[in-house]
Amino acid sequence: MAEMLLMFVLALLPVIWLVIALCGLKMEAYIASLGAALVAVVLAVAVWKMTPMNALTAALEGMAMAIWPIVIVIIAAVFTYNLTVHTGAMETIKGMLTSVSSDKRVLVLLIGWCFGGFLEGMAGFGTAVAIPASMLMALGFDPIVGILACLLANGVPTMFGSIGIPTTTLASITGLDSTSLAFVQSLQVAPFVIATPFLMVMLVGGGPKALKGVIPITLASGISFAVPEIVAAMFIGADLPVVVGAVCSLVVTFLVALKSKHKVPEEYELAAPSKEGAAGADKTLSPAEALRAWCPFILIFIVLVVTSRLVPLVHDPLSQIKTTVNIYQGDPSATLTFSWVNTPGVLIMACGIVGGLIQGCSVSEMLEVLGATVKQMSRTIVTMLAILACAKVMGYSGMIASIAAFFVGTFGSFYPLVAPVLGGLGTFVTGSGTSSEVLFGSVQVQAASAIGADPLWLAAANSLGVSAGKMLAPQSIAIGTATCGLVGKDGEVLGKIAKYAFGYLVVMSIFIYMGVLLGISIA
């Protein structure tokens, strides 16, 4: 037992270092992440007896995965946003949105919750933080508040992100039916889906007092997301729950906002749009002008839908344009596949370029904006490389397995209390819900068998924990701070979002344990 505890503590050292470096030492994320990767490599070689070559190639595999598809998605999303700012389209969008409502509490629901949920469901890989956070900042939100709101909103959709990849992956590695699993996940996450819009409103408004006057629209926004998500999971499966939920929530929230007659308190009202954007709020704005302003985001919506698995005639041929390689030398079967066309980053970049041309931007101007974007994101790119390198070394060396073994061996029948914690920890370390499912999905099913619990319930509990871990992931935070020009503020954001994430984990753990205690079983 003592040896198991020691291995557990040692395996957690890269994570402990990240928390201390970001929150205690106030290091910039890229430096803290490089330190975490170094700690992981040293421990993997010295304690877990990984060969230096295997440690090096494991790290290289993580870096390759970071570059493609994650870094390309981040650059594409930020480039699209920067281009709309450069052309003045963002000011028009700002004016149009404030014509629906000038209430920050309503706008954070429309943009951070509904639009962000849609982006997570369709693309994932940071787009649901990068684009909505930058839009909120452009509307006049405090950048830190905007990032925190988007991190909150991005948590609960993660299990069904990128057309359900985390859930289908979990089903594949555990042998569970993907539709049954998706249904259980949607039931477990539903209370948190309904609660999240309330927390976002309170975050933006500075406390519970901010709910005054907007409880109906906030409740409608959450319920109209949760219920369609459950229905879609039950009848369609893992691919579409978040997309369906986000679109339904967007329609309902928009309609309720239009009909709402509440007086906006001065403290929650946005400043009037600038002269350039005033036309966006003008009733004489032509449909062509509105479409021109929104065209990059409309194109993103259309292209992501058409190239998704929902349209096999397009998706399947494009998905064949790929390269599969083996980088990690410790396992010849450990391959990495690069999709060169049908990947969100490439598609969003293409939409951004076409949108820029429609808005009258020259090629030279776009190249200038792209160069500025890459420079803006340079430290974030280093963070992504280091975090994924750290994650791969921890996974291949056995450090993650040591963490899981400690939890399962120590808690026994109380294991369900920590089941979501494992999911959250996996996402914190890797920044990816899918990776967390790969790391701990089988552990959850084995634990369920050992204690006589429903495997669907505990497998879904891993995904539930992913929701909290996603808020805390340094990768997600780095995307938000870089997008909003707050590089170096990662520790501050982590400290502020932590209370929400840990609060979610506590409630999730109790919820999952009570489900096992009551003998809940999904036939």
The predicted-structure confidence for 275-312, as pLDDT tens digits, reads as follows: 444 444 445 678 888 899 889 878 887 887 788 777 88
> Is 334 part of any domain?
yes
Question: The domain containing residue 137 runs over which residues?
Answer: 2-269+286-517
Residue 447 and residue 375: Cα distance in Å, rounded? Answer: 46
At 181, the pLDDT band (50, 70, 90 cuts) reads very high
CA distances to 144, 322, 498 from 495, rounded to whole Å, are 12, 40, 5
At 174, the pLDDT band (50, 70, 90 cuts) reads confident
Do residues 77 and 346 lie in contact, with contact meaning Cβ atoms separated by under 8 Å?
Answer: no
> Is 277 part of any domain?
no
Mean pLDDT of the chain: 86
* Between 74 and 79, residue with greater pLDDT: 79
Phi and psi dihedrals of 103, rounded to 5?
A: -90, 120
* Between 71 and 281, residue with greater pLDDT: 71
b (16+ CB within 10 A) / e for 227-247: bbbbbbbeeebbbbbbbbbbb
CA distances to 127, 129, 130, 268, 493 from 73, rounded to whole Å, are 7, 11, 10, 32, 22
Q: What's the structural domain count of the chain? A: 1
- pLDDT at residue 193 greater than cutoff 70: yes
* Between 310 and 350, residue with greater pLDDT: 350
> Is 38 part of any domain?
yes
Residue 289 and residue 169: Cα distance in Å, rounded? Answer: 42
> Is 259 part of any domain?
yes
What are 235-284's pLDDT values in tens digits? 878 877 898 899 899 899 989 988 876 678 888 887 655 444 444 444 56
Task: Give residue 511's pLDDT.
Answer: 94
Phi and psi dihedrals of 338, rounded to 5?
A: -105, 115
> Is 200 part of any domain?
yes
> Is 164 part of any domain?
yes
Token pair 């706008």 is found at 107
Residue 189 and residue 298: Cα distance in Å, rounded? Answer: 29
> Is 523 part of any domain?
no
> Is 278 part of any domain?
no
* Between 522 and 239, residue with greater pLDDT: 239
- Region 78-94: what's the mean pLDDT? 83
- pLDDT at residue 315 greater than cutoff 70: yes
Residue 380 and residue 34: Cα distance in Å, rounded? Answer: 12
